[in-house]
């Protein structure tokens, strides 16, 4: 399904987005605020999920709030998930190889809008109709 190249293309197509490397992983920011990032699962994550090793690439994505995160997980728990590390934090984890490019595009745009300045979001969506 989706790849890191897809994430890169979709993220960098958004106004004032930039790519960075942090802790060896790629992340995309707008105005110094991360909105999507590569998120390898840590030992505690694996234990909480009851698995021995990570099964494919994992993307972290900001959400508007925790309610949106929980709604995404309820919508499709085979694609969206969380770990205790993200309790109380408005971000969802995504099995990148299980999400369609189209749905990834929506998720990346929503993550960008969750952290971008309101003026920039308004300008972008004014010029980019649905």
pLDDT tens digits along 76-87: 999 999 999 999
Give the Å distances, CA to CA, from 38 to 14, 19, 127.
Answer: 18, 11, 29
Backbone phi, then psi, for 60, in 5-degree steps?
-100, 140
12 pLDDT more than 90: yes
- Global pTM reads 0.92
Q: Could you tell me if 97 and 57 are in contact, meaning their C-beta atoms sit under 8 angstroms apart?
A: yes
């Amino acid at each position: 399904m989706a790849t890191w190249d897809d994430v890169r293309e979709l993220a960098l197509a958004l106004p004032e987005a930039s790519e960075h490397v942090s802790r060896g992983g790629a992340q995309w920011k707008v105005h110094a605020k991360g909105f999507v990032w590569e998120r390898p699962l840590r030992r505690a994550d694996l234990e909480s999920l009851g698995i021995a090793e990570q099964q494919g690439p994992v993307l972290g994505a900001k959400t508007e709030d925790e309610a949106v995160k929980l709604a995404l997980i309820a919508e499709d728990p085979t694609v969206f998930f969380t770990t205790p590390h993200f309790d109380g934090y408005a971000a969802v984890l995504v099995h990148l190889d299980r999400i369609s490019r189209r749905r990834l595009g929506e998720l990346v745009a929503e993550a960008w809008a969750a952290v971008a300045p309101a003026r920039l979001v308004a300008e972008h969506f004014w010029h980019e109709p649905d």
